[in-house]
Amino acid sequence: MRAATWTGVNEVSVETVPDPQLLNDHDVIVKVGKTTSCGSDLHLIGGYIPFMRAGDVLGHEFMGEVVEVGRGVRDRKVGDRVVVNSFIACGNCWYCKQELYSLCDNGNPNPGITEGLWGQSPGGCFGYSHAVGGFAGSHAEFVRVPYADVGSFVIPEEVSDLRALFASDAVATGWMGAELAGTKPGDTVAVWGAGGVGQMAARAAMLLGAEKVVVIDRLPERLAQVREHVGAEVIDYSTTDVLAELREWTGGRGPDVCIEAVGMEAHSTGAAGVYDQVKQQLRLQTDRPTAAREAIMACRKGGSVFVLGVFAAAVDKFPLGALMNKGLTLRGAQVHGQRFMPRILEHMSRGELVTEHLATHVMPLEQAPRGYQLFKDKEDGCVRAVFEP
């Protein structure tokens, strides 16, 4: 089959690779219909997560059709149109029973790497390096889906492929941030990052009853999408003092909930941005946490900060004093998508969650290298490059 692979730092190719096989009883094979680039892929492609082997198949956010079923699978059958969560979880361990699916004890066959990095191992993830399992990704004609009864969801008839695609990760991640940060009716919510995840976090906050929601970014086309498709307010950080604006916007209190949807390669203006770039390039810190710092400083006393963006290891100048003295709750997670996807698909089928606008560039899989270039450089208004194998 054909697949888009990582072939070196800032290199993506399309190659012919072996077809996947059923390896466990709870596996299915999915014929991929649509699979999308994600901002977190850029950390892999740029070499910031040094556990990729040349030839690894990329992609973790996808939908398609079940074409083969393992003998232990109960709830999926050949022909099902499904969307699959990006994290691989068994459904039976204590973490899965608590609906903390991305923390699954049995989803990552390579726990030694992440236990060394973080003290504990999270679950596995499609196409996201050998640190989280080394599973082949979805930028391919076919993909093996372990624990398919737990991680795949039948798409309601009235939901289009393109809308359902983003339930796999962008919407599920955004929803998780808004809900687990404790968003409740009447809250003010600020979201850093107007990519797919940030936009969906804002939309989820609105559906959870937030009274005012604002999204912070610098790219005009993304801010325009937030206004038009999400219905939230926007702040352009390249022209606005974010902390001052947020104080004014919230009556001097600061947002009740602050959601970071940027991750380890945050851009920022001014000296702080230069400082973080230099330290990261010199490997004196692994991540650039500009948005996370700002979220902590902006948040109201006793408020909640949720980190959705992907971080690898250690950051510098982390405002722990503000966190402690303001009595904040700080939380983060990879996506517990299995917990939220049924509800998300219901909202999608009612037209309350629309995602089609995120797919600014839909193209054949063979054009994946060009798609990633557009996505990385944010050329031509690219928000997401979606591939059709």
Binding site for other proteins (CB under 8 A): 1, 3, 5, 7, 13, 15-21, 23-26, 50-57, 72, 88, 90, 92-94, 97, 105-107, 109-113, 115-121, 124, 130, 133-136, 140, 144, 146-147, 313-314
Residue 105 Cβ vs other proteins, minimum distance, rounded to whole Å: 7
CB 312 within 8 A of CB 334: no
Of 61 and 287, CB closest to other proteins: 287
Residue 241 Cβ vs other proteins, minimum distance, rounded to whole Å: 32
Sign of CA dihedral 88, 309, 137, 175: positive
Q: DSSP character for 52? A: -
CB 58 within 8 A of CB 6: yes
What CA–CA distances, in Å, run from 293 to 109, 196, 266? 33, 21, 11
Residue 89 Cβ vs other proteins, minimum distance, rounded to whole Å: 10
Of 23 and 284, CB closest to other proteins: 23
Amino acid at 185: P
Longest dimension (CA), the chain: 59
CB 332 within 8 A of CB 306: yes
- Tell me how far apart the alpha carbons of residues 274 and 264 are, in angstroms, rounded to a whole number: 14
Of 142 and 175, CB closest to other proteins: 142
Give the residue among 336, 355, 338 at the shortest CA–CA distance from 199: 355
Of 14 and 204, CB closest to other proteins: 14
Of 137 and 371, CB closest to other proteins: 137
| Count of CA atoms in the C-beta half-sphere (13 A) of 4 | 31
Residue 81 Cβ vs other proteins, minimum distance, rounded to whole Å: 22
Residue 161 Cβ vs other proteins, minimum distance, rounded to whole Å: 23
- Tell me how far apart the alpha carbons of residues 348 and 333 are, in angstroms, rounded to a whole number: 23
- Tell me how far apart the alpha carbons of residues 51 and 48 are, in angstroms, rounded to a whole number: 9
Of 369 and 381, CB closest to other proteins: 369
CB 216 within 8 A of CB 190: yes
Of 121 and 290, CB closest to other proteins: 121
Residue 287 Cβ vs other proteins, minimum distance, rounded to whole Å: 12
Residue 21 Cβ vs other proteins, minimum distance, rounded to whole Å: 7
